Amino acid sequence: MTATAPRPADAGDPSFTELVAARPHLALHAQDGLTMDEVPLAAIADAVGTPCFVYSAATIRRRYAALAGALERAGLDARIHYAVKANDHLAVLALIAREGGGADVVSVGELARAVEGGIPPARIVYSGVGKTEAELGEALARGVGQINVESAEELDMIAALAAAGGWRARVALRVNPDVDAGTHPKITTGLAENKFGIPYAEAGALYAHAARLPGIEPVGVAVHIGSQITAMAPFRAAYGRIAELVRGLRGAGLPVERVDCGGGLGITYRDEIAPAPEALAGVLERTLGGLGLRLIVEPGRWLVAPAGVLLASVVLVKAAAPRRFVVLDAGMNDLLRPALYDAWHGIVPLAAADAVAPVSPAEVVGPVCESADVFARARGLPVLAPGARVAILDAGAYGAVMSSTYNARPPAAQVMVEGTRWHVIRPRPPLAALWRDEIVPPFLTGGTGRG
Ligand SMILES: *Cc1c(COP(=O)(O)O)cnc(C)c1O
């Protein structure tokens, strides 16, 4: 149905026009250049400086509604729990909360953030392979809606905590279905060799064990096979295996009310044929639909990645024949995906004149002292003068959240666009904020030397 169909080999990268046309919130205007919703991105870059992440609120809302609508039209009792790790900014969480969404969190930090953003604990699922006793205790005390258990060892830990605190823990067993998601190895999670989940063959016995534990209420099973998945076959295989497991558990007299279907739905960065939410809803309906289950879906990337861009300025262009290095003021510390996953991101000039000028290949790099600090190789770009600005597309997920201050580079500013208006949602901190919490011990602060 939606296997990744590569463009013809000679098609090359999509043009600026194609990239913009495929993203409804972006447009290229003859006067204003690249705009997001009703706002010229150059105006934001002028006011806030670069590097700067900009998110379209309307785009996140539209995508949430599209997914919710597809699930509803498929007749599923499904809830959307946004995977906070994709973009944990409070404004994004507040937006999801207002749409009625829940959250999927993988640490107590994300749990606290989600609550701070307005998502009630009852609508939060707590996942993660290494939850500490203290974290689990806090999750139980806050009353999270569901804890996804990743091992027999963790189940025992939760049972002991629940008994000690007088809590009743609603748990789902995260099962490893041993299905290849067909995505990048670093974002594959559902293979037996990956650290995630309970081996499929052991899930039945552990579920029965969970049902006998005081303080534990097993509510269902969970599965998450990876990220940026653009084919439906891996989802079909995983959910098919989970349906089989649910029937087996019920056959053994065990109650199963929910299946947490994880996240992983991919998007189009370059020319991948990304599945529509209807395709996912259809697969869910055909595999798990007839079982009277409450379903949970946990999209992260799909909801927020296309909504964000990273604005950067050209510092200088270094001619090193036959190569041309376009050095940006954004680096791998701001957007790690190209360095970590060999990810391809569209790069579009902000100025209208630059966007229509003839292009030739360029190496687009950041200023960080690492050879991996490369955004794109042999990318078609026009002649760009120092100070020219570009937007790196689809940076709304796994962008700011993965950033660091390596090379003593302060975090990029962040902005949210709403219609014709825009709001700074995180100013670029002053340099001194980088060392504000560092302590130089007294033996280094007295006197000027060894004397
Ligand atoms: C990362 C993660 C997600 C979200 O993945 P996306 O690919 O961003 O949709 C959902 N559930 C779990 C358990 C995860 O670890």
Contacts of 85 (CB under 8 A, 6+ apart): 105, 106, 110, 300, 398, 401
Q: Whose CA is nearest to atom 10 of ligand 1?
A: 263
**Nearest atom of ligand 1 to the alpha carbon of 187:** 7
Answer yes or no: is the C-beta of 302 below 6 A from any ligand 1 atom.
yes
Q: Which two tokens stand for residue 397?
A: 């997920």
Tally of CB atoms within 10 A around 36: 25
Cβ contact 324:318 at 8 Å: yes
Q: What is the 213 CA–ligand 1 centroid distance (Å)?
A: 29
Determine the Cα–Cα distance for residues 155 and 138; give it in Å rounded to an integer: 16
Mutate which of 188, 194, 227, 337 for ligand 1? The one with the most ligand atoms within 8 Å of its CB, which is 227
User: In this predicted structure, what is the pLDDT of residue 330?
Assistant: 98
pLDDT of 286-333, one tens digit each? 999 999 999 999 999 999 999 999 999 999 999 988 899 999 999 999
Run of H or E including 450 = none
Answer yes or no: is the C-beta of 125 below 6 A from any ligand 1 atom.
no
Cβ contact 410:331 at 8 Å: no
Cβ contact 369:333 at 8 Å: no
User: In this predicted structure, what is the pLDDT of residue 181?
Assistant: 83
Q: What is the CA radius of gyration of the chain?
A: 24
Answer yes or no: is the C-beta of 174 below 6 A from any ligand 1 atom.
no
**Nearest atom of ligand 1 to the alpha carbon of 127:** 13
Cβ contact 287:242 at 8 Å: yes
User: In this predicted structure, what is the pLDDT of residue 195?
Assistant: 77
Domains in the chain, ordered, with CATH? 16-57+305-429 (2.40.37.10), 127-299 (3.20.20.10)
User: In this predicted structure, what is the pLDDT of residue 180?
Assistant: 85
Q: What is the 364 CA–ligand 1 centroid distance (Å)?
A: 29
Question: Chain-wide mean pLDDT for the chain?
Answer: 94
In order along its 451 residues, the chain shows pLDDT tens digits of 334 444 455 569 999 999 999 999 999 999 999 999 999 999 999 999 999 999 999 999 999 999 999 999 999 999 999 999 999 999 999 999 999 999 999 999 999 999 999 999 999 999 998 899 999 999 999 999 999 999 999 999 999 999 999 999 999 999 999 888 888 888 777 777 777 899 999 999 999 999 999 999 999 999 999 999 999 999 999 999 999 999 999 999 999 999 999 999 999 999 999 999 999 999 999 999 999 999 999 999 999 999 999 999 999 999 988 899 999 999 999 999 999 999 999 999 999 999 999 999 999 999 999 999 999 999 999 999 999 999 999 999 999 999 999 999 999 999 999 999 999 999 999 999 999 999 999 999 976 665 5
Q: Which two tokens stand for residue 191?
A: 């293979």
Phi, then psi, of 155 in degrees rounded to 5: -60, -45
Q: How many CA atoms does the CB half-sphere of 418 hold within 13 Å?
A: 8
- Determine whether 369 is an active site residue: yes
Residues belonging to the chain? 451
Q: Tokens 């949430």: give the residue.
A: 64
Report which of 55, 49, 37 is spatially closest to residue 312, judged by C-alpha positions.
Answer: 49
Determine the Cα–Cα distance for residues 334 and 326; give it in Å rounded to an integer: 17
